[in-house]
Chain A
Amino acid sequence: MSDGPVDIVLVEDSEHDRELALHVLRNVVSRDRIKMLHDGVAALQYLLPEDDREGQRASDPPRVVLLDLKMPRVDGIEVLRRLREDARTRRVPVVIFTSSQQAGDVAAAYACGTNSYVVKPVDFDEYSARLRIVVDYWLNHNLDTVDQGVSE
């Protein structure tokens, strides 16, 4: 794992899912631009560090955070909430990437400020296509607010 600036942060507790995602993402960006985190605690530690690597983090937030919902200890909603509360990560694009289709989860995610909610298909071909499209959008089509230098 590198500590440098990354494009994609993937927070996913299932090892299999992480592997599958990696296979897909590696065709989109180079490996060192991808940060894999295995649960909410790690995510918060990485994205909202307490120590003084703050400066770097603030100027180099990831281009998109792929966030799973069902995680032990600290779940996706909680991570999302914390990200939105902190000024450093408030405008980082977050895509909830989960297998849950429940309306309640969708509502809660949007209420907490997610940018997008995408359901993971079971079929691998569909899965990789969807993931690729989503990531492609956020990295290549969506314009960053930070890039534009829009002030608070």
Chain B
Amino acid sequence: MRFRLAILFGVLLLLQGVAIALTIASPLIYATWALLTLAAAWYGVYHLGWRDVERLARAMRGDDQEHPPEGGDRRLSARRDEVGDLARALEAKSAALATLEERLSDAEATIRQNEARYRDLFDANPHPMIVFDVETLEILAANDRAVTHYGFTRQQFLRMTVGHLIPEPMTGGATEALERMALDRERPVETLHRKRDGTVVAVEVASHRIRFAGRPAALAMCVDITLRKQVEAENRRRTEVLEALYATAREHAESLSLREVARSVVDAARNRFGSSAVWLARPVGEHRLEVLAACPCLQTAWERREVPLDPASEQAMHGRTAVAYDPTNPGWPEVWWKNEDGSDPSRLPAAVAEADWALALPLVSRDRSFGVLHVAVREPEALPFGPLANGRGHRSREESEALLTSFALQSAAALVNADLHEQLQRTAEILEQRVKERTAQLEEANRELEAFSYSVSHDLRAPLRAVDGFARLALVQYGKAIPEECRTLLESVRCGAAEMTALIHSLLEFSRSSRQALHERELDPKDLVGAVLDGLKQDLQGRTVDIDIGELPPCMGDPVLLKQVYANLLSNAVKFTAKRESARIEIGAMPSDAGTVYYVRDNGAGFDMARAQRLFGVFQRFHRSEDYPGTGIGLATVHRIIVRHGGRIWCESAPDQGTTFYFTLRER
């Protein structure tokens, strides 16, 4: 621009110079020239700059209608003079302004977003939230839930401090308040808040520091935990009850006597189930009760005493339901208030006087009505609700009754058990006594029998000797002189005597097998078998008998008696295989669950197992004496001996197929 104006002024000066020259020449020409010069100057100024400046001004004013077309715009900005500068500056500022406007609208959008988020986070939060100043404790914001929860309006909140929410007066000032609001604490704090209507509620508070409206503040979230606290208290109560019941059950389990259990019931009722006075009784006869246990706080020592049946007890036991009544009523059970000598007291026992009500609880178990439990209950003081108290709520009367009924059921079970146990013991004792007497009688009878059989056997021997002896002598001395028949008769006499001797011998053995004391020691059956077989050598002479002796493990037993067993069994085996061409006898043992089983097996005559029942009876013979002689006592003796050794004996056989005898002895 400078250049152009400069040119213009130069030209004008020149022209003015010319004008002056001309003026001197002619004033008219000067005037014309001056006019022309002015016009030219005006035109030049206007076109050179004034118009564009006007355009600029318009553009600056924001008059869009006059916004020059692009071409014009470029023209202005392209100018290298002041106007061009202005135009360029204007362009730049416009661009900057446009950017700013953009940014502004972005920022506004963000702010709106944030506001929405803020509303979600704070205002719409389901838990009450407030913002408060950490220095002044003034409440700076409260969300919707805080409003509904606490009952204050938002305006009221903004006029309050945090202290207004706290029910008790604070002594610690701001520090305490901050503590209560759990500021800077790692975990939320359980505390109490007061609502607008004065209700105190339990809340869990958590706070953290923020900046709010340029001040150091804190955001506090207060979760209402009233319900949770109630549930906790309820659970705790329930647990206490269960623990009490469990502990009582254990105590009951440990005592066996009825009286002990009754006392433990009374103690538990007092100590664990909150009764102030207790007594327990069972019916005797139709109209009386026998007190089994009573707490010492009553007027007298009622234990073991009898009292008349009172209506409450009767109703409880008959209807099998708890009956509530007032213990201080003279018409009710005398146990509560009468003196020892039956007189009326001047004062009730404290425990009864303080009681609010009493309960008669039936003691029923397994459908047996055992008796009745009376408890006097004092209503517990209404404890302040809340976690800062002991968490215990106030137990209602219905709850107490229900609890005591459970307790009564449990106690009844224990009492009935103890009672049954005692009865059982008494019965057992009686039975034991009877058994003892019976055993003594049996032993006595046994002894007599054995003594009898012994003395009989013994005393029979002398006359037998005489019979045999004189018959023999007759034969010896007069044998030649007496006829053959007579000799035969005398021989028969001797035979008879011999048989009888054998019989008596067996009987003596049998009797000895029971009477003789058992001298048990470790022994090897092989030795016994060897000795027995030695003794049977004579019977085996002239016969082919194959004797197979297997492994015989050592055992505990009386050697004399067990030798008897083998002697009898083997002599039987030898005897009953007499008619076999090749007799075979096996002596052995085999293991089993019940211990070692010893056996003696022969391939002799055998017998029908159907008659095996009587095999071990005395004087039982399964074969004719012509075929196989024998006394029939041998096996009875063997049986006795085995039984005395704590073992078992049995056999297997079939006619003509041999016999096996098995026996076991006492487990070592």
Q: Which residues of A contact B (CB under 8 A)?
A: 14, 16-17, 19-20, 23, 99-100, 120-125, 127
* Known A100-B458, A123-B498; contact A16-B473, beta-carbon cutoff 8 A: no
Residues of B within 8 A of A14 (CB): 462, 466
The 3 closest A-B pairs by CB, nearest first: A16-B466, A124-B469, A124-B472
| Contact among B461, B462, B468 with A124 in the assembled complex (CB-CB below 8 Å) | B468
Per the bound structure, the CA–CA distance linking A122 and B462 in Å amounts to 7
Indicate if the CB atoms of B458 and A124 lie closer than 8 Å.
no
Residues of A within 8 A of B501 (CB): 122-123
* B501 → chain A closest CB, angstroms: 4
| Contact among A19, A99, A123 with B462 in the assembled complex (CB-CB below 8 Å) | A99
| Contact among B468, B470, B473 with A122 in the assembled complex (CB-CB below 8 Å) | B468
Of all chain A residues, the one with the shortest Cβ separation from B460 is A122
Per the bound structure, the CA–CA distance linking A100 and B461 in Å amounts to 10
The 28 sampled A-B contact pairs (Cβ below 8 Å) are: A14-B462, A14-B466, A16-B463, A16-B465, A16-B470, A17-B462, A17-B465, A17-B466, A20-B469, A20-B470, A20-B473, A23-B469, A99-B458, A100-B458, A120-B462, A120-B465, A121-B465, A122-B464, A122-B468, A122-B504, A123-B468, A123-B501, A124-B468, A124-B469, A124-B471, A124-B472, A125-B472, A127-B469
Of all chain B residues, the one with the shortest Cβ separation from A121 is B465
Residues of B within 8 A of A16 (CB): 462-463, 465-466, 469-470
Q: Decide if B277 is an interface residue (CB 8 Å cutoff).
A: no
Of all chain A residues, the one with the shortest Cβ separation from B463 is A16
Q: Which residues of B contact A (CB under 8 A)?
A: 458, 461-466, 468-473, 494, 497-498, 501, 504
Residues of A within 8 A of B464 (CB): 122
A-B contact count (CB 8 A): 48
Known: A99-B462, A122-B464, A122-B501. 20 other contacts (CB 8 A): A14-B462, A14-B466, A16-B469, A17-B465, A20-B465, A20-B469, A20-B470, A23-B469, A23-B473, A99-B461, A120-B461, A120-B462, A120-B465, A122-B465, A123-B498, A123-B501, A124-B465, A124-B468, A124-B471, A125-B472
* B517 → chain A closest CB, angstroms: 10
* A60 → chain B closest CB, angstroms: 31
Residues of B within 8 A of A120 (CB): 461-462, 465
Per the bound structure, the CA–CA distance linking A124 and B498 in Å amounts to 10
Residues of A within 8 A of B498 (CB): 123
Residues of A within 8 A of B466 (CB): 14, 16-17, 20
* A109 → chain B closest CB, angstroms: 16
* A18 → chain B closest CB, angstroms: 10
| Contact among B463, B465, B494 with A127 in the assembled complex (CB-CB below 8 Å) | B465
* A12 → chain B closest CB, angstroms: 10
Per the bound structure, the CA–CA distance linking A121 and B466 in Å amounts to 11
Residues of A within 8 A of B465 (CB): 16-17, 20, 99, 120-122, 124, 127
Per the bound structure, the CA–CA distance linking A120 and B497 in Å amounts to 15
Of all chain B residues, the one with the shortest Cβ separation from A21 is B469
Of all chain B residues, the one with the shortest Cβ separation from A125 is B472
Q: Which of B465, B471, B473, B501 has the most CB of A within 10 A?
A: B465
| Contact among A23, A100, A122 with B497 in the assembled complex (CB-CB below 8 Å) | A122
Residues of B within 8 A of A17 (CB): 462, 465-466
Q: Which of B471, B473, B504 has the most CB of A within 10 A?
A: B473
Of all chain B residues, the one with the shortest Cβ separation from A99 is B461
Indicate if the CB atoms of B463 and A124 lie closer than 8 Å.
no
Q: Which of A20, A121, A122 has the most CB of B within 10 A?
A: A122
Residues of A within 8 A of B494 (CB): 124
* A132 → chain B closest CB, angstroms: 14
Per the bound structure, the CA–CA distance linking A99 and B459 in Å amounts to 9
Per the bound structure, the CA–CA distance linking A14 and B471 in Å amounts to 17
* B2 → chain A closest CB, angstroms: 167
Of all chain A residues, the one with the shortest Cβ separation from B500 is A122
Per the bound structure, the CA–CA distance linking A99 and B497 in Å amounts to 16
Per the bound structure, the CA–CA distance linking A14 and B462 in Å amounts to 8
Per the bound structure, the CA–CA distance linking A120 and B469 in Å amounts to 12
* A148 → chain B closest CB, angstroms: 37
Residues of A within 8 A of B461 (CB): 99, 120, 122
Of all chain A residues, the one with the shortest Cβ separation from B502 is A122
Residues of A within 8 A of B468 (CB): 122-124
* B504 → chain A closest CB, angstroms: 8
